[in-house]
Structure 1
Amino acid sequence: MHEILDQLRTLIPIEGAMVSVVDPVTGRRKVVANVGYSASTETYLNSDEFHTEMIEPFSLPRRGSAVRLRDLPVDPLSLRCVAEHWLPAGLLEGALSALVTTDGRYVGFIDISTGDYAHPSDEATNVVGHLAPILANVVDPLQSARWLASTLAEDCVAVALQSDGDVIPLRGTLESGMLEPRSSLRPTVARLLSGNLGSAAFLWPTSDGGWYACRAFRCRDYFVVLAPKAVGGDHDLTKRELEILTLLIEGSSNAEIASKLWISTRTVRAHVEHILEKLAVPTRAAAVSRAMQDGLLLSPEVLADMDSRQRLAARLRGRSKR
């Protein structure tokens, strides 16, 4: 941003300038660059009052075009930013432009002030107006999520998850109900990306008994990209084999797996052999490596649900024997 402002100095004798962005969660404004403005002016320009006084009525309606003090339909001296901040500092003119993304989201503003009534010129004002959409994409916190989604496989659906609960489609359409309030998918993503992890891979059941191979990526400014992809027939692993593979990843022995799944160790060994065959790997360690690479990991929530069903089935079998 400082480099951009330095380049604008070839057109405008800048004496004060600020680029500010809007936090997508809190709505607060954060300074990206401040050149020449005092601390009190910086605080005011990032206030709700300045947004109400200048951005909302004069800048947002002129999307794609910067506004100068002499362009305003009101007396500039009636505005607090002019009377209390700019004029006392010798700042007589300037250009203000809202930063609006191509899909219409307001993400911040750029403000430039000069000590010369002749500046900025019409040409320079147009340059700032043309620059604003580019700057909007640069500072847009969702931009990194969109870029990441563009690198995924074509058959991946992708959404951006905000920490305030909003879900922003990036590509395709999620299965109905996947992220509804009662679903445990979103808490699963949050738990898997806790700490310093930047990404996670896991399996999630579809409504028709299949599986989604899900990948979650942490992006900047609170955004998480979730990309589920319907698992094809590459591995053809059964639910039981996925359970066992997940427990192998956790380091469980055959005996521990047998105890958790209410089956015999001989059955576990048979399933492990089938897993090695389907993944085309020679050892358990290689199977674990392949599973982690391909995201063939059941989340604890899915495992817990399957375990509760197995316990219920075991109790029912016990009753039928009696």
Structure 2
Amino acid sequence: MSLIRPDEETASVFNHMDVRLAVSIGVFVDAKSPAEVLKVIVEHTGAEMAQLDTWNGGRAAPLAVHDCPAEVSRVLSEEIPHDRFFGRHLLAAESACLSDDPGLGFGSSAYFRECFGPAGVAAGVAMALHDMSGRLAGLLYLASTRPGHFGERHRVLFGTLMPVLARAAAPPAPSAELIPRGYAASRIRGDLVETTEFRQPAKVADDPHIRELARRFARHSVPYLQFLWPSEDGWFDVVLVRETGDWQATIVACRPTDLPWRLTHREIEVLTTLAAGATNRQIASTLSISERTAMTHVENILQKLSAPGRTAAAVRAVREGIIVPSADPASPGSLERLLGPYLTGR
């Protein structure tokens, strides 16, 4: 299997801000408003217009719109997906489509002459969002007034993000539904640890570091976070869920687990730091190891996860909870650094 070499000095199409975007999207995908997902994408890519549509019953409908004129938004939802040429090409594509793709001819189309050109669009990206089962969940459109603004890097990046972006079209689940079946659970509100209905108390809620993580988590708008946690009784799979309607409370749920994918404790630490957007040099400095050792750990992680590169590994780490966050806000593995600058405080 061919892997992208994890050395950041090599010619990978990704940069470290792409990793941060991927992680942030992976977290925000369960947020209440798809507008937050679109905002993160717009800020990262420099897009000047953007739209996220849901797909239901063979029709598209806007979920979130950023600076799209009304007619542009209407054409994106009502006409492009059903066009015999462009719609068929878009819905069948396995990755993002660029407006200047050879053979597409979008710049000479009637859509461009009559709608997108007059609106100032000079470059664009469009992608059909298919979930893990292959079902079409929605559509994502980005546009810029700068010719050539979008390139191969964006195609590969959004192709990597497709499964998690597809989730943005689905409504969020209530907090109780986000607690996995079979997990013990406690509610943490400030310094208080409370029991929850029909659940055994969560053992990890007695850990002061977990309580601090829960308090910090309650300050932000991210509704759900899964991670691993070491204890004297072994490893636990832990889930933090913001209590619906109570910004000060966090539900802590847990169950005993083994480290997944044959990963070692040290590799989990490396993966956590990588998911926070760290380079090999920064990983080495944080964990007091050599840069060569850090590179070797990253290579092993990519192989064990069957991940094609750092971005895919970072997305998987956060989505599957293969991280160990720190309660210390100054740590490279802190909650705030892991989830990035896209956390919104309460």
Q: TM exceeds 0.5?
A: no
**More helix as a share of residues:** 1
TM-score, with length taken from structure 1: 0.43
* Higher radius of gyration, 1 or 2: 1
